[in-house]
Structure 1
């Protein structure tokens, strides 16, 4: 059988996948609506999400909260990072830019 017309199996670039995953898992987003918008199955979106989260040592999608703090003068922490495993990182506003 010869299939004419557009190929059914699409190829999604890493950038496209990231855009779709970001849209689907932004707080308040509806995965079904995002799937319809991009003409993709919800199952594939969840598969990509599982794959992204499973990559050990690779960047993964995590929720971030931006909070408006008063001025951070006098060496007060300017960046707070709380990891799910309980590790907390505080970077002072006076930290050198060469900080590794």
Structure 2
């Protein structure tokens, strides 16, 4: 059965809160997700999801910062290993991110996603 949303009053457009947008974007661009499926689930246009993503990426590029990601178990102390880094990502303006070979997989994944 089809679902219908009735908008009453002078406002004809839905307003999405920042936390709702963030949740939709996380769902839409998580590994294996299909944006069209997520759009249907939240009853939002796929073009609006892509617009929100462009806005987030543009804002991130303006200030050069990305949100921090906290990973469970990241606070566990590990012995220092004197090895060459396994991954080196060179960013514009000379910034560099190095990831050692013994870094936790979840931490590496979160770091690389944040750099995307």
Q: Name the TM-score class by shorter chain.
A: 0.5 to 0.7
- Structure 1 residue 90: Cα displacement: 5.6
More helix by share: 2
Partner of 1:45: 49
Equivalenced residue count is 75
TM-score by length of 2: 0.52
- Structure 1 residue 53: Cα displacement: 0.1
Check if 1:72 corresponds to 2:96: no
TM-score by length of 1: 0.60
Q: Deviations over 1:23-56 (max 9, x none)?
A: 0000100000000000000000000000000011
Flag the structure with more relative contact order, 1 or 2, with Cα contacts below 8 A and sequence separation at least 6: 2
Partner of 2:16: 12
Aligned to 1:88, what secondary structure does the other structure show?
Answer: strand
Gaps of 5+ in 1: 61-70, 92-100
Please report the RMSD computed on the Cα atoms of aligned residues, expressed in angstroms. 3.2
Gaps of 5+ in 2: 1-5, 68-76, 101-116
Shift in CA distance, 13/81, structure 1 to aligned 2, threshold 3 Å: farther
- Structure 1 residue 87: Cα displacement: 1.3
